[in-house]
Structure 1
């Protein structure tokens, strides 16, 4: 790896360990083994470096979601959903630094149009991939909308209190209970 990549790796590590507000250039320099001038040379400012690190962490998080999608040729849709949720929860447990940095990035995106645009694009890609989870001939984008919304809450619960966060079985059982309360679906309006 080169200096630029070392700085990005160190910034991601610092974001996961300390958060955006508490990460200093000294932290990044110490973790990367580089110097302050390298941050200025490669990124211009600490904020630009941290923003790039957050965007890359977000992309990695979205990629993990998409990679956790079960084989479409495999089990029935209910089993696919359960398998997907189980893989996702396992990813939260095995890769907490990636997911912590993702949450940090979401909070910072409220103050950065560049990050907001990047996160919006990443979320749109995730919703599209999630809509294809069930292998329907014509994927329903609303499925991706619901799953992406649910993932955010699930992620926060697993980062804050993993011992009491819902399991894949809890979620699928809860979805069935909610579905029982819903009226029959109406045709989707034409775009």
Structure 2
């Protein structure tokens, strides 16, 4: 593994242990076994490295959830939604620091056009991936309207449930409650 990869892994560890705002360049160097000059050479700045690490942490977390809670082959979209959110909620306790770091990163995006651009690209990929997961179709076979509608709905719900868990884990909604809420909404739609 080269210095660039070591830095990224070290930054990911720092995000989990210290959070986005409290991680220093020296922390990353210590966690990665590299040197300060490597950060500038490979990433340009500590912030750019942390931004790349944050995107990687979110992608790793999502991949872990999807692989440990796979969509049942014969699941309806509602059943796939419930399976996905049950997996997310089950994974939240062990990922608390990474979740907190992602909230910090969103706050940082207000002051960083680069981070905002990285998060926007990650969100577009997530909308597509989540819509494909719920519908049970390959990403390249999705209709764009499903990416914009279902994928966007999933991206709206995920951070909201995450924040509810971080603030009050005992009263965060369950996957079953989310499904019931969606059904109530659809039943009462004009």
Structure 2 gap ranges (5+): none
Residues 1:164 and 2:171 are matched in the alignment: yes
Aligned ranges 1:24-173 → 2 under 5 Å: 24-64=24-64, 67=67, 70-71=71-72, 73-132=73-132, 133-135=134-136, 140=146, 141-173=148-180
Aligned residues: 182
Q: CA contact under 8 A between 2:86 and 2:175: conserved in structure 1?
A: yes
**Would the aligned equivalents of 1:58 and 1:119 in 2 still touch at CA under 8 Å?**
no
Cα pair 1:65 1:126 within 8 Å, conserved: no
Deviation at 1:69, TM superposition (A): 5.7
Distance 1:51 1:147, change over 3 A: closer
With 30-39 and 149-158 compared, the bigger mean Cα shift is at: 30-39
Q: Is the 8 A contact 2:16 2:98 kept in 1?
A: yes
Which of the pair is proportionally richer in helix?
Answer: 2
Does the CA contact (< 8 Å) of 1:154 and 1:166 recur in 2? Answer: yes
Query: Counterparts of 1:110 and 1:62 in 2: how far apart (Å)?
Result: 24
CA distance in structure 1 between the aligned counterparts of 2:114 and 2:105, rounded to whole angstroms: 11
Q: Give CA deviations for 1:16-58 in whole Å, capped at 9, x if unaligned.
A: 3323332112222222233323323333322222222223224
**Cα deviation, residue 153, structure 1:** 0.2
Name structure 1 gaps, 5 residues minimum.
184-191
**Structure 1 CA distance for aligned equivalents of residues 164 and 63 of structure 2:** 20
How far apart, in 1, do the equivalents of 2:70 and 2:103 lie?
Answer: 21
Higher-Rg member (1/2): 1
How big is the shift at 1:151?
0.7
TM-score (norm 1): 0.79
Deviates more, 1:60-69 or 1:105-114: 60-69
Give the RMSD, CA atoms, in angstroms.
2.6
**Cα separation, 1, equivalents of 2:118 and 2:135:** 26
User: Which of 162, 174, 177 does residue 181 from structure 2 map onto?
Assistant: 174
Distance 1:121 1:69, change over 3 A: farther
